[in-house]
Structure 1
Amino acid sequence: MHNLRKKRLLLFSFLLLLTGCNPGDKNSKHWYKGNLHTHSYWSDGDEYPEMIMDWYKTNGYNFVALSDHNTLAEGEKWITVTKSRMYEEGFEKYLEKYGENWVTHSLDSGRIRVQLKTYATYKSLFEDNDFLIIQSEEITDKFGDKPIHMNATNIQSRIEPQGGESVTDVMQRNVDAVLNQRKETGMPMFPHINHPNYFYGVSLQDIIDLHGERFFEVYNGHPMVRNYGDSLHPGTEEMWDRINLAYAQKDQPLLYGLATDDSHNYHQFGSAYSNAGRGWVMVDSDSLTSRSLIHALEAGAFYASTGVLLEEINFNNNKLHLLVNAEPNVVYTIAFIGVVAGEQQSKVLKEVVGTKAEFELEKGHLFVRARITSNKLKPNPYQENEYETAWTQPIVYTK
C-alpha cells in the first residue's frame, strides 16, 4: 500500500487547491467546464463540427473532445444530406452561418453533398483563451455481440480497434494502445471506458480485471446506456464503488468518474435523443491546455456534474469539506459515500440536507466520495424525473 499512498498524496495536493474556488466563475480560479464525448457527421452524429463547437462555446463550455467512432476528423470526407426537411434546413443554417467561401458543397442528382471540415481546419475558428478543442476518438470495438467502446482523449493519430480473446482482453489491448501512443509521442492522453451498461457489454468484473485504466463514465447522456442498470445489472454508480473496492484491495489506483453527453442528435430533442448539455466535468487546471487539463484529471482535481455546481471542495487533515454554489429555492442533499475496511459494499456514511457539509475520514475508510443531489429537475434529461447531480472523486485517509 506504500507506493499507492505516495501516488494518492498527489491527488490530495490537487484537492487542496480547490479551496475557495467557484466552478461557476471561470475568472475566480482555473475551473474549466468540458465535455469529453461528442459526435458529429464524421461518424454517426447529425451535425457539422463547426455548428457543434459553436453550441458548446456559446453555452459556456471551455473545452470539448470531438470523439467520433474509429476516426479522426482528417482527410477528405463528403456526406450526403438526408432527404428530410429537418436536415436540409440544418444545412441551410450551416451555409448561412459560415458562408459560401467556407462551406464546400454540391448537388448530385438533386441531393446536397457537403465536404466536412477537418479538425486542423475548423479549430482555428473557435480556439482562444477560453475555449479548446481536443482531438479524440471513440475506439469502437466488440467481443462477440458485446459492444466495447472506449474514448481516447488527445490522441495524435487514429487507433484501430484492437480486438481480443475476451471482453477484458479487448479493453486491455485498447487501453494499452492509447498508453503506448502516449509513451511514443510524449503527449499526454488517456483512455476512458464509455457507458459500460450499453447493451450490458462490459461487466463489473471486466473492469476490475483491467490495469492502467483510470476513468469511466459514471454518467452518460445517451438514452440507451442504462446508467441506472436494471434488476439483473448494477447501475454505474454502484459499479464505481465495487470496482474501487477491488482496486483498493489490490493496491491499484482508484477509478475516477466522468459525466459526458455522448451527444449525437442536434435537431431533435427529448429523452429519446442523445442531446448536448446533459453531463460534463469541471476541472481545476493551471491553464486551458490539453496537457494541463489531463494532468488535473489524472490527479482527480475535478468533479462530474449534470447541473449542480460546487463553490468549494477542500480536503485537509482528513476532512472533506464541500460548499454548493447554490441556486435560489433549490434544496441540496450531500451524501458522503464510501467503503469501510472489512466490508464488501459501499454505503452512505453521512448525509446532510443543505449547501455545505464536512466529513472526517478515518483510518478504516478505504475511500470516500460525495454525491450532491438537488431537487431541481434536469431540463432535457437522460430519462424522465432526473434531478441535477454532482459527483466528487474518491479520496483516501492519509497519515
Structure 2
Amino acid sequence: MRILGIILLSLLTTGTWAQKTTWYKGNTHTHSYWSDGDDFPEMILDWYKTRGYDFIALSDHNVLADKEFWKPIPIHPFRQARFREYLRKYGESWVTYRTDSAGQISVKLKTLDEFRPLFEEKDKFLIIKAEEITDSYLGQPIHMNAINVQELIKPRGGFSVAEVLQNNLDAVYEQRERTGQPMFPHINHPNFGWAIKVGDMMQLRGERFFEVYNGHPHVHNYGDSVTLGMDELWDQLLIRYLEDGKPPLYGLATDDSHNYFEYKVGLSNPGRGWIMVRATELTPEALIASMENGDFYATTGVTLKDVRTQKGTLSVEVEPQAGIRYTIQFWGARHLGAGTMADAQERDRVLLKEVKGTKASYTLTPKDLYVRAKIISTRPQENPFQVGDLETAWTQPLVK
C-alpha cells in the first residue's frame, strides 16, 4: 500500500494525472486608434507587456485590425508628440505615413498580423483577436466583447434590449460552432447609458460572462438609487440563472482603456482592472477552457496566492502586501423555493461570512445556492475609477 501511495503521489506531482497550471494576467477590453482609442496598437501592447501582462485582447468597436486603414493624427500637442515618439520607436521602415497639402499627417495602421510578431512570445505574451460588438436599442448603448473571434460580427440589432443582447450572443456562438475555434462573448458595462437592466439579462440563453468591474469613468459600476450596481446585479442574476438550471455567471474586471496620455480620474486609462486565469498554457484554447470552468478571478489590485474549491468549500488566500489589511467577504443566496420569478425577486444577496485576514474559507450549507468571495484591501487603488476606491478582487461562484 505504501508503494501504491508513492506511485499515486508521483503521478499527481509529475502531471501524469494532473497538469501543472500557471496564473496568467490579462485584459479583455482595450481600445486603440482602430476605433476610439487615442494611441497606436504597438504603443498600447508595449505598455501592457512591459508591465507584466501575459495576454491582451484588442477589442475595437465593430472592427478587426485586418484591413487598410489610414488614421489622421489630431492636431493636438499630445497626439502630435505621440506620433513623433511612435516614429522614433519603430522607425521610418515600419511607420507608413503621409502629409497632405494642409499639413495633416495620416498614418497607415498596422494590422494584427503585422504587429503580432513584434510582441508575441510563446509562454510569455499572447494577443487574442477580439471585437467589441457595438449595438443599440432606441439609442441605448448595448455592447459585448467577442473574445478570440475569427471573423467580424456585425451588430444584429433587435426589437428590445434583451433581443439585441440575445442576437449578438447567438452570433458569437454560431461562429464558434461553425469555425470550431473556442471563443466567448462577455457583456460589457451594463450600466453604461443605464441601458441594460437586470430583467434584460435574466432572460438570456448562453450568457456566461459579464464585467463586474469596468475602468471607464462613465459606466456606473456602483449603480444609483434605482439601478443595481455590478455586485448586486451579479447576485440577482446568479439566483435566477441557477434556479432556471443555467450555468453560473462569471465576473470579469477590465480596463476598457481608451486614453493613454493623461492618467487621472475621469479618463479611461489602462491598468485599472484585469483577470488572473489559472491555465495549463498561454494559448486561447487553454485560457478559455479555464475561464469557462470558472478557474480565474477578477481584480483591481489584490493578488490572490490561491483559490480552491473542494467538496463544497471555497478557500481563498491573499498574497499580502506590507502594511495592508484585507477583508474577505463570502456572498451568496439561500435556496427558498422552486425558482419562480416571484421567488427570485423575493430573494436577496446574503453576506454569508466575513473574515479580517489573508486566509478564509466557506463551506456551502444545504440552504445555499452558491458562494463567491470578494476581497477588499485597505490600499487605495492607484488611478482609480472613482476617488476613494480600494483595491479589490472577486472570485467566481462555487455552486452546489
Secondary structure at the counterpart of residue 287 of structure 1: coil
Which of 248, 253, 260 is 2:254 aligned to? 260
Residue deviations 1:187-221 (CA, integer Å, cap 9, x gap): 00001100000011100011000000100000000
The Cα shift of 1:232 comes to: 1.0
Within 5 Å, which residues of 2 pair with 1:91-170?
91-108=83-100, 109-129=102-122, 130-170=124-164
CA RMSD in angstroms comes to 1.0
Give % identity: 52
Q: Does 1:68 align with 2:60?
A: yes
Q: Hey, what does 1:88 align to over in structure 2?
A: 80
Secondary structure at the counterpart of residue 162 of structure 2: helix
Secondary structure at the counterpart of residue 275 of structure 2: strand
Within 5 Å, which residues of 2 pair with 1:374-385?
374-385=377-388
Residue deviations 1:248-287 (CA, integer Å, cap 9, x gap): 1101111100000000000111111000000000000111
Which of 310, 316, 320 is 1:322 aligned to? 316
Q: Does 1:394 align with 2:381?
A: no
Q: How many residues align?
A: 371
Which of 309, 315, 335 is 2:303 aligned to? 309
Q: Hey, what does 1:5 align to over in structure 2?
A: none
Distance 2:158 2:222 in 1: 28
Distance 1:60 1:42 in 2: 24
The Cα shift of 1:69 comes to: 0.2
Residue deviations 1:209-250 (CA, integer Å, cap 9, x gap): 000010000000000000000111010110000001001110
Whether the 8 Å contact between 2:21 and 2:281 is mirrored in structure 1 is: no
Distance 1:170 1:41 in 2: 27
Aligned amino acid, residue 50 of structure 2:
T
Distance 1:185 1:124 in 2: 24
Which of 273, 292, 295 is 1:298 aligned to? 292
Q: Does 1:223 align with 2:226?
A: no
Residue deviations 1:312-368 (CA, integer Å, cap 9, x gap): 111222222111000000000000000011160111110000011111111211010
Distance 2:312 2:174 in 1: 36
Secondary structure at the counterpart of residue 399 of structure 2: coil
Distance 1:376 1:112 in 2: 43
Distance 2:206 2:21 in 1: 30
Q: Runs of 5+ in structure 2 lacking a partner?
A: 1-11, 13-19, 337-345
The Cα shift of 1:29 comes to: 4.2
Q: Does 1:245 align with 2:239?
A: yes
Q: Hey, what does 2:187 align to over in structure 1?
A: 193
Distance 1:363 1:97 in 2: 60
Distance 1:167 1:314 in 2: 37
Distance 2:92 2:355 in 1: 57
Q: Hey, what does 2:366 align to over in structure 1?
A: 363
Between stretches 104-113 and 118-127, larger displacement belongs to 104-113
Which of 160, 182, 199 is 1:205 aligned to? 199
TM-score for the superposition, normalised by structure 1 = 0.92
Whether the 8 Å contact between 2:248 and 2:399 is mirrored in structure 1 is: no
Residue deviations 1:19-38 (CA, integer Å, cap 9, x gap): xxxxxxxxx94110000000
Secondary structure at the counterpart of residue 63 of structure 2: coil
Q: Does 1:30 align with 2:33?
A: no
Q: Does 1:344 align with 2:351?
A: no
Secondary structure at the counterpart of residue 105 of structure 1: strand
Distance 1:250 1:277 in 2: 36
Q: Hey, what does 2:5 align to over in structure 1?
A: none
Aligned amino acid, residue 31 of structure 1:
W
Within 5 Å, which residues of 2 pair with 1:275-294?
275-294=269-288
Aligned amino acid, residue 177 of structure 1:
A
Aligned amino acid, residue 49 of structure 1:
P
Aligned amino acid, residue 159 of structure 2:
E
Between stretches 336-345 and 271-280, larger displacement belongs to 336-345
Q: Does 1:78 align with 2:70?
A: yes
Aligned amino acid, residue 48 of structure 2:
Y
Distance 1:57 1:236 in 2: 29
Distance 1:314 1:110 in 2: 59
Distance 2:177 2:49 in 1: 31
Q: Does 1:55 align with 2:47?
A: yes
Whether the 8 Å contact between 2:312 and 2:398 is mirrored in structure 1 is: no
Whether the 8 Å contact between 2:374 and 2:392 is mirrored in structure 1 is: yes
Distance 2:147 2:399 in 1: 27
